Amino acid sequence: MYRGAVPHYIAKMDRGRIWGPNGAVISPDNKLVWDMSQEPCVPRQHPIFRQTELPMPEYMPLTLGNATYNSAANYFFWMVEVLARIELWRSKGIEIDKYVINKRVRSFQWETLQTLGIPEERLIECHKDLHIQARQLVLTPVVAYTGQVSKWICDLLRIKLGPPPGTKRDPFYEKIYVSRAGATHRHVHNEQELNAYLAEKGFVTIHCDRYTVAEQAYIFSSAKTVIAPHGAALTNLVFCQPGTKVIELFSPNWVRHTYWVISTHCRLEYYRLIGKQAELENPTEFQRIIDDIRIDWDNLHDVIQQAGVL
C-alpha cells in the first residue's frame, strides 16, 4: 500500500554560498551540502572537488532561495522540484529577495515562471563561474529523484498552472497517445504502426514538445484515456480529471513508479504495460534508462481491454 511521499523541509543557512552551473551549496565552514547539491554521481565525485580553486565569492546582502537542480531542463524535474520549492516557500510566507535557478534553456521554464508571476529581477541564473555568498540561504532538499512526488505538489501544479475550474473538456482529446518521437531516447518501436492501431480506436497522437504548458494542461484535462511511454510528459497527469484512465508503457529494463504515485494522488485509474526484453548484455544504468520500448500487440490489446477503453 502506498503510504506517502518523502517529506520536504525548509532550512535556513546564514552566509551560505552557491557555486557553479547547478548551484551547489557550500556551508560557512566549507562543507558541500549534498542534500542541496546532488549530481548524477556519488558525493566524492561532485564536480566541485575537481576544482583547484574557486573564485572569490560575491557577497549579496540578501535572502536567496536556492531552487536549483541538475536536471532542471527536464520538464518533470522543473515542475516538481524547481517550481514546487518556490511555491512552497511562497505559501509559507517566507520572504525571499531572489531565487537562484539553473540557466533556462527550455521555453516551458520561461512560461511557467511568468505564469507564477515571478519577475526577471527576482531571479539569479547559475553559470560555471557563479560563486555567491548570501546573507541567508533558504533551502529545501530535492526529493523527486526518488519518484515519490508529494500530493501537495500535484495539487499546487494543477491549481497554479492548470485550466480554471469548470473548463469544458474538448472531446477531440478524449483519447490521447503521447508520443516520444521528438525525444532523444526511449522511443517506442514501430510507433507508426502503433499510431495507426490506436487511431482506429479513436486515439489522437500528441507531441507535447509542440505545445505550451497551458495547452498541454488543457489537453490532459480533456482526456479520459491517456496512453504513453514512460517519460516527463506524463507530469501532465496532474491536470487530468479524476477517473481518467492511464496506460503507461515501459521497457523491462527501466520500470519506475513515479507516475503511478501521481495517478494515485490525482485519483486516476492506472495501468502499466511492460514491453519485450531488449537484448542488452550487462547494461549500465544509463543504457537501461534510455532503452527503447518494444510492445507486444496482443499484450497491448489485453491491457486496453482490461482498462475498458475498447
pTM, two decimals, is 0.93
Are residues 287 and 221 part of one domain?
Answer: yes
Distance CA 196, CA 157 (A): 33
42 and 94 assigned to the same domain: yes
Decide if 102 is inside a domain: yes
Last residue of a domain, one of 104, 133, 161: 161
Residue 281 lies in a domain: yes
- How far apart CA 231 and CA 74 sit, in angstroms, is 10
Is residue 294 over pLDDT 70?
Answer: yes
What is the per-residue pLDDT across 150-172, written as a single tens digit (0 to 9) for each?
Answer: 999 999 999 999 999 889 999 99
Q: Is 184 left (phi over 0), alpha (psi -120 to 50) or beta?
A: alpha
Asked whether residue 33 is domain-assigned, the answer is yes
pLDDT value at position 142? 81
Residues 22 and 122 in one domain: yes
The pLDDT of residue 3 is above 70 = no
**Residue 29 domain flag:** yes
Q: How far apart are CA 140 and CA 47, in angstroms?
A: 21
Burial of residue 131, with CB atoms counted within 10 A of its CB: 0-12 exposed, 13-18 middle, 19 or more buried:
middle
Whether 153 and 189 map to the same domain: the answer is: no
What is the predicted pLDDT for the residue at 2? 41
Residues 276 and 252 in one domain: yes
Answer whether residue 166 is part of any domain: no
Check whether residue 117 and residue 226 sit in a common domain.
Answer: no
Cell readout for 40 is: 548524477
Q: Are 139 and 248 members of one domain?
A: no
Q: What is the pLDDT at residue 88?
A: 92
292 falls within a domain: yes
Please check the confidence at residue 14 and state whether its pLDDT lies above 90: yes
Picking from 174-183, 200-209, 242-251, 288-297, which range would have the lowest pLDDT averaged per residue? 288-297
User: Given 161, 182, 199, which residue is the final one in a domain?
Assistant: 161
The pLDDT tens digits of the residues spanning 78-137 come to 999 999 999 999 999 999 999 999 999 999 999 999 999 999 999 999 999 999 999 999
With beta carbons less than 8 A apart as the criterion, state whether 14 and 29 touch: no
Give me the domain span that covers residue 55. 11-161
Lowest mean pLDDT among 123-132, 229-238, 291-300: 291-300
Counting the structural domains of the chain, the total is: 2
CATH code, domain with 177: 3.40.50
Let me know whether 74 and 114 are in one domain: yes
Give pLDDT, residue 286: 84
Does 86 reside within a domain? Answer: yes
176 and 144 in a common domain: no
Whether 36 and 62 share a structural domain? yes
pLDDT over threshold 90, residue 234: yes
Which residue among 122, 140, 161 closes a domain? 161
| Spatial CB neighbours of 91, under 8 Å, sequence gap ≥ 6 | 156
Q: What is the pLDDT of residue 4?
A: 52
Mean pLDDT of the chain: 93
Mark whether 35 and 139 lie in a shared domain: yes
Give the DSSP H/E element, type plus range, for residue 124. strand 123-125
Same domain, 108 and 203: no
User: Is the residue at 191 inside a domain?
Assistant: yes
